[in-house]
Structure formats: C-alpha cells, structure tokens
Chains A and B, each alone.
Chain A
Amino acid sequence: MGRNIHCTYISEKINKIRWRPNPFNDPKQFVTGSWDNDENHIRLWEVKGFEEDTDINPFEINVLPFDGDVTELKCVNPDYLIATSNEGKVYLIKIATNITEEICLSHEIVWDDAHQGMPCTSFAVYDKDIATVGEDGRINLLSIMNKAPTRVIDDADSCTVNCVEFLKFNELITGNSRGQMKIWDLRADEEKASQIFMLSGDSIVAATCLAQHPTQRHLTAAGDEHGSITLWDLRQNTYPLNVMTSHTESVTEVQFHPDRPEHIFSCGQAGDVFHWSGIKQGACEESAWYTSTTNKYDIFMLMPQLHTTINSIDLNRDRLLCGSDNEAMYMIEGVNIYS
C-alpha cells in the first residue's frame, strides 16, 4: 500500500468512523462504532505523528460498550456525539475530560423507545435538532436539549427508511428501501411527504445513503444498492443532474468535501473508495455538478480495492478515514483536493 495510507487493525468490524471536530478544524481525534460483533463498542482514538513523517499510529483513548450494532454515528459538536443502534435506541454521548485529565465517553441521554424496538437506520443533525429514521418507517424529531421528542411522525413511510438529511431547518429528505425519495415539510401538520420522487425509475433499488452539499443545500447526492450515485437539484427534481456509476456493488456512504464541495467521496460494498473531482480545467468551480455530461469530472480510486465492504468514510482537509469489515481502519493522507 502507498506511503500515505495507514492501516490499523482493531479486531472488530467498523460500521462508522468519524472525525471529532475541533475549533481549529484540524482534528486529531476520531470515533469508531462497530457492528456484527458479540460485543460492540464506540471507541475514541487519537492520532499522533502528523507533523513528523513517521509511522502514524492511532491509539485508543476511551471505549464505551454499546448494545447492538452501531448503525450511525455523528458528532454534533466537539463535545457531543450521537449514535443509533439496531435495537432502535438513540444515544447522546458526551465526550468529557474528568478530574484526572482522562477523556471519557458517557451516556447523556438515551431515547429508548425511539423506534419501537426496531432497528434505527440513520439520523441527520441540524444544529441541535436530530431527525432519526428506522425500519419501522417512523421519523422522530429530537433535540439534544430535551429527552422528550419534539415531534414523531408515525407511519411516515411504508418501507424501511435507510437514510435522512436536513435540507433546511424545517425540511427533511429521506430515502427508503423501495427507492423513493421523500421531502418532508416539518411545519406542515399533515403526516405526509410534501414531495415524492423515484431514485431510479420503476425497479426496486433501495437508497442506501444521502449527502448534502454543504453550502448549496438543494444539491443532494444519493447512493443506491446497485452502486450508482445520483445527484439531484431539488429545485427541479423531476430528472437527476448526474448519475455516477463506478461502484460495482452497493454504495455504503457518500460525502461532499466539507470545505471543497466540488469533490465528492464515496465508498462501497465492493471495498472501493472513490474520489470524484468536479473541477476540470476551464470549468467553473461549483458548477461542475450541475452539468449532466459525464466528462466533467475525474474519478480517482483512493486505495487498492479491499476484499471486504468499506462501510464508512469521513473527510477532514486532505485526510480521509475509512472503516471496513476487515476490521481495519485506514487513514489516507494527502488526498488531492487543493490542486
């Protein structure tokens, strides 16, 4: 493997991996959540040796046992993270430094019955608001300030909702196992989606993941189980802007680069990680995703293909974290986003 790929084996399959944000946007810590193990854990890691060009070795700072599989994990801010389980629970976890200067993870709020005991599949965060979705088709609106849910939309979907994102503070988009994308206006009283459109025509293709352009929030990317990433301009959602098909199996996660959204990153069940670079010479930045011609972007494979699913990626600056089913986490340094 290349010089800039660092691999660490942790003896459990990683379902989610996320940088822990810090005020300087230069995080050295990240969290992992495992799945499909006898006992699952959320682990907090720290990386040392960024500055020197030596071997980078993450070491574990703290570990929190977790009931069931971690289905989604996101940091709300540097001190709080949220995790959901396939037992239908939602946890608000605090990262705190105790008297002896040790950093510890602890449960702050547990929403036990968020999904009636059925698996919670994903959630989205907007400031202090959280929207969770699950196999029971319910959408919960929670706030990290409050244990009581803000709003519950029962039977929001007939199928399993696999992914969710906030479009605005009052608007949600969800994708389900039938391949329907739904937009929800949270101010409306009725428990019905304000818009429904299909991800991929008539056939049954489950949406697996969603990503939001960090600044132009009407620009949405959705991954599906056949390996396509579809880009939509939600101002005119009758027809997708772009369909990017390089993954051979299900797309597990897709992400716009937080600072450089002209780059999209995605990983898949076939063990591949792609970098889609939307800038080409002469092309105006940002606009790259709005043109539907395929030759407007470059595709890079960031790592030799693994033999196991890559479940999760997370980016910060030019550092990419990957978590895989081969019980290894990879850190790729120097991802080419600046040139």
Chain B
Amino acid sequence: MEDENLKTFLIPNDLCKSAGIAGTWMSGNKIGVFPYHNINHSSKDAPSQYTKNVPSSVFHVKHEVVLFHPILRRLVTESMGIFLNLQTVVENKPSDYKQHLQQFSVQYRSVIRASLENLRDEVLRATGEERETLQNFITIFYSVECIWHLCEILYIENIPGHVVIKHLLEWVRFHFPKYERKAAFLLSGESIGSLESRQDYWETVIGCLLQGRVEVVRALLSCHSAANSTHFKLADQILKSMPTYGVYEGVSVQEFNLRWKHWLVDTQSKIDSKLFISEKNLHLMMRLIVGEEMAWSEVQSQCEAWYELLAAWLFYTEPTVKSFELGAFAKRCISRMGTRMHHLDRVLLAAMEGDVQIIKEIQHMTENGWFVTHLMDLLYHCEQLEKWQTDKEDSLKLRHSFVFEYGNTLAGHKSLWQLGLNYLDHCFPDGLAAIELLLPRVPINDESKAHRVIQEAQKRGLSHIAHSVAKIEGLKSLRNDRMGNALVWALRSQDSNFASFLADKFLKKYVDTGILPNVDLLSYLGSCMMASDRLIFLGKYYQFNKLHKDKSYREAAKALVSLIASKFTPKFFWSTLLSEALTLLECDELLLSSNDVFNLLNAVEERLDCLCELDELEPLIRLGIARNLSRALTYEAQYT
C-alpha cells in the first residue's frame, strides 16, 4: 500500500500519547483503542509509571459506512431481495437462466436509479455539509450505474454475434440525455419562430446524429425552413437509406458490410461533388457519417466524455464492431480527446478491454462493497469471472470473499444484522462460521429480539447458539426475580442442569416461605418436566401440595409415597417432605398402608444423615411411623 493512501486519525488523549496505544476488534466495524504500554521479559518488575490517578479511557473507533446513511438504506434492503431471488434462481437452474440473470441486472440498476432519484430530491432540500455528502453519493452512484450498465452490455446481456453498437448508443443516450431532451422540446413545437434561428438548433441536430438518432435528425431537418430544397432532400434520403445492422433483420454481417460500403461510396461521391456545400452544417453532417477524420475533429469537443465519442464514432465507422474489440478503439478515442483519466474512465476502459483490473478498480469505489459484491456475484453466475481467473475454483473464492465482506459489514449494524446473515448464508463454508460468531453478539434488549435471534440460529441448524441465547435470557429473568419465566427459558434452552438449578430455587423458596411460587406455571408443566429429574420432583411435589391443599388426603398420601420412593428428593428438602408426611401419618383416617409406611421408614433410615441436623423431627417421625404402622397392620389384618 502506498503511503499517501494511509489515513491518520488522532486519539485525543494524554495517556495514550505518553504510553502508546493498542487496539482490539469489537463487534462489526468498531475498534476499541486504549492506552497500552508493552511489557516484556526485559521490563522492570515495578508498578507501571502510567498508573497514576489519571483515568484511562477506551475509544471506540468506527469505520464509517456510507451504506448506513438513511437514504442509501433503501438500496441495501431492496437489493438484498434481488440478491436472494437471484440465488434461488441459480440454485434451480431453469432453462432460461441467462435471461433471468439479465433481468436481475436490470433490477439492480433500477434500484440504483431509484436511489439516485431520491438523492437528487434530497440534495435540493439539504444544506451545508449534508448537501456535500449527498452530492458525493450522487457522484458515486452515478458512476456505479454507468459502469454497471456497460458491464451488463458487455458481459451479462446475451447479444447475438457480440455486435454491441446499438446497446452502446443506448447506454450513451442514457447518460447524456441532453440532446434528446432538446430535440423533444424543439419538435414539440413550443418554441416560437423558425427552428434554425435558434442557437442550439444545429448543435442539437449534430448531437442527435452522434447518438445515432437518425430518425430524430431527419425530423429536425424536416422542420428547417429550407427543408424542401434539393440538398436537404438529398441529405434526408441519404440518412433514410443508411443501412443499420440488426441481428434479427435477416442480413448477415458480410451482406451488411457490402451494402454499407456501397452506401458509403455513394454518399462520399455526393459529398465530393459538393452537393451540400451551400449549407455548412449539412456538409459537416455528411462528412461525419462517412467517417471523415477532419469532420470528427471538428465535433469531438461537443462530446462530454470519450465514451460518448467512441459510441458515435463506431456507429458511423465500425457498425459491426464486436464487444471484445472495443478496448483498442476506446484507447484511440481517449488519446484523440486527450482526456485526463479519472477513476470512472479507468474502470470503463478496463471493462471494455475485458481486463481483470476492473475488479480492483471497482473494489476501490467508496461505497463499502455494495457494488463489487452484487456485480461480481452476477458476473460469477454469468460465468464471466472464470474467464478472468485461471479456474472456476478461484472465481468462486473471489465471489465468496466479496459476499463475505459485505455480509460482515451489514451484520455489524444494529438494525441490518439480519440482512448480513442472509448474505453470509450464500458463502459456504466461511459464512456459517461467521454467523456462528456473529449471532451471539447481536445485542438483545427484549424477548422478541431474543426470539428472532433464536429463530435465525435454528434456521441454520445452530441449535447450540439458540440454546445459549435462551439460557442467557433465562439468567436475565432470574436476575429480575422472574423465576417462572426463567424456567420457561431453561426449558427452551434444553439445559437440564439449568432447569434443575431453577427447580431447586423453587423448592428452596418453599422451604423458606412456605409458599410455592409461580403455581400458574407449575400446574401446567406437563411433559416439560421431563427435562430434568429435579423438575420432575418439583412437578410431582406440586401435585402433592395441591392435593393436600384441596384436602384430598388419600390421593395426597399416594403422591407422597411415590415422591419418597422416587429417590429424587434433594437433601435440603427431606425435612420439609417428612414433616408434611407427618401430618398424613397422624391423620384421623388411615391413609397409608403398612407397605407405604415401610417404604417411608426405609427412606428415613437411609437418610439419617440429612435428618441429623433436625433432631427434634426424627423422633416425631419415628413415632408417627410406628403409630401408623400399628393402625395399618391391625386394619389390614382385619379386612384382607
């Protein structure tokens, strides 16, 4: 990289100045810059001299992306739709695939033109710096459209026989509509007095001639007050009989050349016999259409750009020029006009020369890769890129790298991140890896956005990211003391440890307060409780609790026994569970069979260690068990 291309930015901070700086990538296009002093093995083992009481700051340095300007966002969002449609078409490969590609190219251009129009409207309203920025955008996107159009003609459109002159003229007319507008005005009959008395009459006639609008030229000539004179009539006839080449006109190139040469000789002879000499402009026109060098030198100043001259000149001198021959002619035109080459000129020349250099030039346009990404993608699908690259593999890589860069730029934006992901989807395999890194970094400030991120992750099969996002949301809910919501997130994250952790929290809360929280959720756990053992316990315990509350003691007793037998009971909960068992044991009605009681006793014996801290409970439980057992045994002996 040449030094003059480097830009320097000052970080206005004393500490940075004295200590030095370091930077680290943040998300997207941001870099965090902070004061940093390098320490290595030879540094003295002492407190840094910079750790005085000066506060140290971190500076966020951001690369400005013009595409994020509100007025250009339309371009970004609308072109994404086209890009994705294109990818779908390419995947399906229909038979008229090439035609589709051309349509996509036109669609892209119409988006650019719509944006240009917006910009032009907006620039009238803007003032000061904003106005300058918008002007700048107009320049950029004008060039973009101009180059795209040319590339479309040269590489995308399927022109039979590569005879491009008609398309070139169209392109020139598109970008230099001045003469056509004037001609339309003159022909509309709104101007007063004879046409030729107007200063711009002949300029317009010749301008239209240069743009190949022979019909318009004839119409304008017929408005001349001398239109009925012989030399005007003759000129009109020559123009009328001028052969033009069209693929669908059923004339071969050789045949056309023959006719054209014949017409040329005929016209030349008429010029030589000085038939037009009385009207100098008419004479000039006739000399132009036969391609007389002197005449062309006279009018070339009327062309604003070398490519305007090129199209005109080729139309009258080389009407069957092939697209791949343009380069040499272009160079000739440039030297003829003595044009100082600007960036746009260089790109256009490179495009005409079919030079791979064009990619580099386009890349250097300051619109953050929108242009290069979309055009290269299109050219890749037109199999044009591989003609420039040595093999298909390389061209694929090249396309991927552009799409990847662009996708990354978008993904770094707060609002356009989803668009970025859509682009990254189409550069396998790095794209998915990038998405994997980018998705967890999308800032989430409410649940609806969390759901979006999760859905984006799941669409791409990145369930681990979906789960981790869900888990983070769960932790957030927990921090806000929303345990029920946290549990729902835990279930979504399919993290059984987290679910168990939360189930413990519920139970602990019950131990502490005697109230089971979030019963509306617990009562509808259903099969979700299968997520973890502890959750099953919580769910079952809730059922027991509810039965107990509803005074259905018999069912409650059954639930309790199965709870105890399940061996899922957490240590801290044993005392609560057993004290609740006590109420059932001591119930007037006999609720537990001898078998149940044995189970209970067994559990108590097994978990003596948990109970030792609750000395007063153990004898009570044992007493309860003994009394219930005696009742049960007596009952069972009597009735079974």
Mark contacts of A190-222 with chain B using CB atoms, 8 A cut-off: 1 yes-contact digit, 0 otherwise: 001100101001111010000000000000000
Is A306 engaged at the interface, CB distance under 8 Å to the other chain? Answer: yes
Contact pick for B484, options A159, A192, A327, A328, CB 8 Å: A159
Contact of A202 among B422, B447, B528 (CB under 8 A): B528
Contact A36 B483 (CB under 8 A): no
Task: Given A9-B74, A158-B483, A328-B77, verify A202-B521 contact (CB < 8 Å).
Answer: no
Inter-subunit contact B74/A36 (CB<8 Å):
no
Q: CB distance B447 to A177 under 8 Å?
A: yes
Contacts of B80 in A (CB 8 A): 307, 326
Instruction: Report if B129 contacts A (CB, 8 A).
Output: no
CB nearest to B445 among chain A residues? A86
Distance in angstroms between the alpha carbons of A178 and B490 in the assembled complex: 12
Contacts of B487 on A, CB cut-off 8 Å? 158
Question: B464 an interface residue at 8 Å Cβ cutoff?
Answer: no
| CA A137 to CA B528, docked complex, whole Å | 21
Chain B interface helix/strand/loop/mixed: helix
**Which of B77, B445, B482, B492 interacts with A327 by CB under 8 Å?**
B77
Is B105 interfacial (CB-CB < 8 Å)?
no
Pair B527/A308 contact, Cβ less than 8 Å = no
Q: Which residues of A contact B449 (CB under 8 A)?
A: 36
Whether A250 lies near B528 (C-beta < 8 A) is: no
Give min CB distance, B505 to chain A, whole Å. 13
A36 x B520 contact (CB < 8 A): no
Cβ 8 A contact of A328, one of B78, B414, B482: B78
Distance of A69 Cα from B446 Cα, bound (Å): 9
The 29 sampled A-B contact pairs (Cβ below 8 Å) are A11-B73, A36-B414, A36-B415, A36-B449, A37-B415, A69-B446, A119-B447, A135-B446, A157-B520, A159-B484, A159-B521, A178-B488, A180-B520, A182-B520, A192-B520, A198-B524, A198-B526, A202-B526, A202-B527, A204-B492, A204-B528, A225-B451, A249-B455, A250-B455, A308-B418, A308-B419, A326-B78, A328-B77, A328-B78
Give residues of chain B (453-501) contacting chain A, Cβ–Cβ below 8 Å: 455, 480, 482-485, 487-488, 491-492
**Known pairs A38-B415, A135-B447. 7 more at Cβ < 8 A?**
A12-B70, A36-B414, A37-B415, A193-B520, A196-B523, A307-B422, A327-B77
Check if B78 sits within 8 Å of A325, measured CB to CB. no
| Contact yes or no, A137 B485, CB < 8 A | yes
Tell me the A264-321 residues at the B interface (CB within 8 Å): 269, 306-309
* Distance of B374 from chain A, by nearest CB (Å): 15
Q: Does B518 contact A (CB under 8 A)?
A: yes
Q: Is B81 an interface residue (CB 8 A)?
A: yes
A136 near B: Cβ within 8 Å? yes
Residues of the A chain whose Cβ atoms lie less than 8 Å from the Cβ of B451: 206, 225, 250
A121 at the interface (CB under 8 A from B): yes
> Any chain B CB within 8 A of the CB of A118?
yes
- In the complex, what distance in Å separates the CA atom of A137 from the CA atom of B492? 18
| A75–B81 alpha-carbon span in the complex (Å) | 32
B residues near A158, Cβ cutoff 8 Å: 482-485, 487, 517-518, 520-521
Contacts of B523 in A (CB 8 A): 196
Determine whether A18 belongs to the interface, using a CB cutoff of 8 Å to chain B: no
Chain A contact residue count (CB 8 A cutoff): 45
- Most chain B CB atoms below 10 A, which of A36, A86, A202, A308: A36
> Chain B: which residue is nearest A40 at the CB level?
B415
**Residue of A38, A159, A308, A309 most packed against chain B (CB within 10 A):** A159
A180-B524, A203-B528, A204-B491 known; A136-B482 Cβ under 8 A: yes
Size of interface on B: residues with Cβ below 8 Å to A: 40
Known contacts A118-B480, A325-B418, A327-B73; A177 and B488 CB within 8 A of each other:
yes
Residues of B with C-beta under 8 A to A135: 446-447, 482, 485
A13 within 8 A of B: yes
| Chain B residues whose CB sits within 8 angstroms of the CB of A327 once the complex forms | 73-74, 77
Tell me whether B448 is interfacial, beta carbon within 8 Å.
Answer: yes
Does A71 count as interface, using CB distance less than 8 angstroms?
Answer: yes
A192 to chain B: closest residue by CB:
B520
Q: Does B71 contact A (CB under 8 A)?
A: yes
B288 shortest CB reach to chain A, Å: 41
B84 interface residue (CB < 8 Å to A)? yes
A9 and B414 form a contact (CB under 8 A): no
Which B residues lie within 8 Å of A206 (CB)?
A: 451
**In the complex, what distance in Å separates the CA atom of A281 from the CA atom of B482?**
51
Docked Cα-Cα span, A196 to B522, in Å, equals 12
Residues in chain B near residue A160, CB distance under 8 A? 447, 485, 488
Q: Are B527 and A9 in contact (CB under 8 A)?
A: no
Q: What 1/0 flags go to B64-83 for Cβ under 8 Å of A?
A: 00000011011001101100
Known contacts A158-B485, A159-B488, A327-B77; is-contact A136 B520 (Cβ 8 Å): no
The 10 tightest CB contacts between A and B, nearest first, are A158-B484, A202-B526, A158-B518, A9-B74, A119-B446, A11-B73, A158-B521, A11-B70, A86-B446, A202-B527
Chain A residues within 8 Å of B492, by CB: 204
**Which chain B residues border A198 with CB–CB below 8 Å?**
524, 526
How far, in angstroms, from A159 to B485 measured CA to CA in the complex?
Answer: 4
Q: Is the CB of A306 within 8 A of B70?
A: no
Partner of A203, one of B446, B482, B484, B527: B527
